[in-house]
């Protein structure tokens, strides 16, 4: 018997932050007919991206998961084959999975059960050819072995369908979980960000909605739902009750995605700002226009710019408009009231993000994972493909406690961290390089696909590997050079642009005014010399 201990994906899962954002774009809502999904993994850790091969297994082979607090393992039989997968993100059949954690009712979180949400994501990719199959794999596994994580929202897509699966445990250590899965209508987009989003759902439409057998009766038993109140059952209200702090932290991001994808629909900010009785945002919307991959990149680059919550404005942003707010984001003052900074989609502690672009079988090797390390606002998305046998070395290396410019994670992080010194100036240099490279990569995809169609076997594989490695080297070197440029150009507070005289711009007028308003006399120079006063002669 072959036993595979599950250390593949998360050997350091304890340091992961559970604060992610997902955006789903159905094939009918995308400009090129692909299904797309964005997943931001927001946590302070350094991820080594890997490709796992298609593998055949013997009947007695199992995969093992350590049971928390014991020296024992849970053995789960392997299927006859497990599919090729890129990280825990996409597999060879163009199924892609993302997640955000909503926690929900913590009494339902049994930490002693070994199957965690990231295990389920990886196992689903191992065993699924469609999004529906992935849902069946996940729910069947928890029915048999139990669910050991808190409340979780999964985005699951394939070239034709897009689903949201929301799941929470039962709290008693027995197998099973409470869950509901809803298909997003073709032509629509959806989003979730650490808050359960599925409310009411149809009980008799298995083509578009499936759910655990006792999802309602369990809620009644626990007192989470009271039919006598005359309201329709809503999964999110029962298992993830509303609170003003979570609405601001989570629903703000959904609001920002929706308002920019469909500005004519004028979504109110009242709900995510905690206005009591405000209308909830729908599970999905139909965007104003079909979205290209570049527009999707732009949607997940956001600090609420141009709204009343704009994080680049006001004294909070400092003199040079940095949108970063260091954690903890909320705090309590001596008056007993709680305050918080905004939580944007783009955040400095994003480990990585990707845009999964799932295509029909005619693009068998070309289903694309646009992958980027660090903050979405600063990263450069590189296309990676399921036709690869491995990913570039710079994506597979690095130590979070030791700076290494040959690691893509570190090259990206150096630039984004340094930009906080003079954000309003430096972001222009960064976005210039970012847009040039991403536009180039996007424009190359059609020609690359044509080249692939004319190749067979090893020749096709070589074309793909050569292209990806060359572009990875290009991005890495550009970001190293960009870091050096920022150091030289903005050294000691000056601006030293090539071919221009050195400038000393000082601080913005608005920020200087804020300083004066806070303490009008502190920086004031007396004006008595303007009145013609002269020093008395002491002799």
> In the chain, what are the domain boundaries?
3-36+48-240, 360-493
Burial of 190 (0-12, 13-18, 19+ CB in 10 A): buried
pTM of the model: 0.94
Please tell me the predicted confidence (pLDDT) of residue 460: 87
Q: For residue 531, how many C-alpha atoms fall within 13 Å in the half-sphere facing its CB?
A: 5
Rounded CA separation 450/249 (Å):
44
Q: Which of 121, 157, 126, 92 is nearest to 16 (CA)?
A: 121
Please tell me the predicted confidence (pLDDT) of residue 2: 57
**Sheet containing strand 51-52, strands side by side:** 51-52, 85-86, 90-91, 96-103, 151-157, 162-168, 178-183, 209-211
Rounded CA separation 390/465 (Å):
8
Digit-by-digit pLDDT tens for the chain (539 residues) are 556 655 444 443 444 555 899 999 999 999 999 999 999 999 999 999 999 999 999 999 999 999 999 999 999 999 999 999 999 999 999 999 999 999 999 999 999 999 999 999 999 999 999 999 999 999 999 999 999 999 999 999 999 999 999 999 999 878 899 999 999 999 999 999 999 999 999 999 999 999 999 999 999 999 999 999 999 999 999 999 999 999 999 999 999 999 999 999 999 999 999 998 899 999 999 999 999 999 999 999 999 999 999 999 998 999 999 999 999 999 999 999 999 999 999 999 999 999 999 988 656 667 899 999 999 999 999 999 999 999 999 999 999 999 999 999 999 999 999 999 999 999 999 999 999 999 999 999 999 988 888 788 788 889 999 999 999 999 999 999 999 999 999 999 999 998 999 999 999 999 999 999 999 999 999 888 666 555 555 55
Please tell me the predicted confidence (pLDDT) of residue 14: 41
Please tell me the predicted confidence (pLDDT) of residue 18: 55
């Amino acid at each position: 018997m072959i036993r595979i201990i599950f250390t593949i994906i998360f050997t350091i899962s304890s340091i992961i932050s559970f604060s992610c954002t997902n955006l789903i774009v159905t094939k009918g809502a995308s400009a090129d007919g692909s299904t797309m999904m964005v997943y931001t993994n927001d946590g302070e850790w350094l991820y080594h991206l890997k490709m796992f091969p298609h593998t055949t297994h013997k009947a007695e082979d199992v995969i093992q998961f350590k049971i928390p607090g014991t020296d024992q393992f849970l053995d789960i039989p392997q299927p006859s084959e497990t599919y090729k997968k890129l990280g825990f993100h996409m597999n060879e059949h163009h199924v892609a999975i993302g997640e955000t954690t909503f926690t929900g009712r913590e009494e339902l979180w049994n930490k002693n059960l070994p199957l965690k949400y990231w295990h389920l994501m990886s196992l689903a990719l191992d065993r699924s050819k469609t999004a529906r199959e992935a849902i069946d794999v996940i729910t069947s596994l928890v029915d048999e072995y139990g669910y050991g994580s808190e409340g979780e929202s999964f985005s699951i897509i394939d070239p034709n369908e897009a689903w949201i699966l929301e799941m929470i445990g039962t709290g008693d250590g027995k197998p099973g979980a409470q869950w509901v899965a809803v298909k997003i209508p073709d032509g629509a987009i959806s989003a979730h960000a650490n808050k359960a989003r599925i409310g009411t759902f149809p009980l008799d439409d298995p083509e578009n909605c499936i759910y655990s057998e006792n999802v309602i009766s369990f809620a009644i038993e626990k007192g989470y739902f009271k039919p006598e109140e005359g309201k329709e059952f809503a999964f999110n209200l029962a298992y993830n009750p509303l609170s003003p702090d979570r609405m601001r932290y989570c629903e703000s991001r959904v609001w920002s995605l929706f308002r920019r994808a469909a500005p004519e629909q004028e979504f109110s900010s009242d709900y995510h700002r905690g206005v009591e009785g405000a209308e909830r945002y729908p599970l999905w919307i139909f965007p104003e226009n079909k979205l290209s991959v570049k527009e999707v990149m732009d949607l997940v680059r956001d600090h609420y710019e141009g709204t009343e919550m704009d994080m680049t404005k006001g004294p909070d942003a400092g003199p040079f408009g940095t949108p970063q707010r260091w954690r903890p984001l909320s705090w309590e003052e001596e008056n007993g009231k709680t305050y918080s900074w905004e939580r944007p989609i783009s955040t400095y502690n994003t480990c990585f993000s990707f845009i999964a672009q799932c295509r029909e079988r005619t693009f068998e090797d070309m289903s694309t994972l646009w992958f980027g390390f660090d903050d979405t606002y600063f990263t450069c998305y590189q296309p990676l493909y399921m036709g690869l046998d491995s990913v570039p070395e710079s994506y597979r290396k690095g130590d979070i406690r030791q700076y290494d410019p040959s690691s893509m994670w570190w090259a990206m992080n150096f630039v984004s961290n340094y930009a906080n010194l003079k954000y309003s100036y430096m972001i222009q240099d960064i976005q210039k390089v970012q847009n040039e490279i991403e536009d180039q990569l996007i424009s190359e995809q059609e020609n690359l696909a044509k080249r692939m169609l004319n190749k067979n076997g090893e020749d096709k594989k070589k074309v793909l590997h050569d292209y990806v490695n060359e572009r990875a080297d290009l991005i890495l070197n550009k970001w190293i050079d960009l870091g050096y440029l920022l150091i030289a150009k903005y050294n000691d507070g000056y601006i030293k642009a090539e071919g221009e005289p050195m400038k000393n711009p000082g601080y913005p007028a608005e920020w200087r005014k804020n300083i004066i308003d806070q303490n009008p006399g502190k920086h004031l120079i007396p004006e008595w010399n303007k009145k013609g006063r002269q020093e008395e002669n002491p002799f």
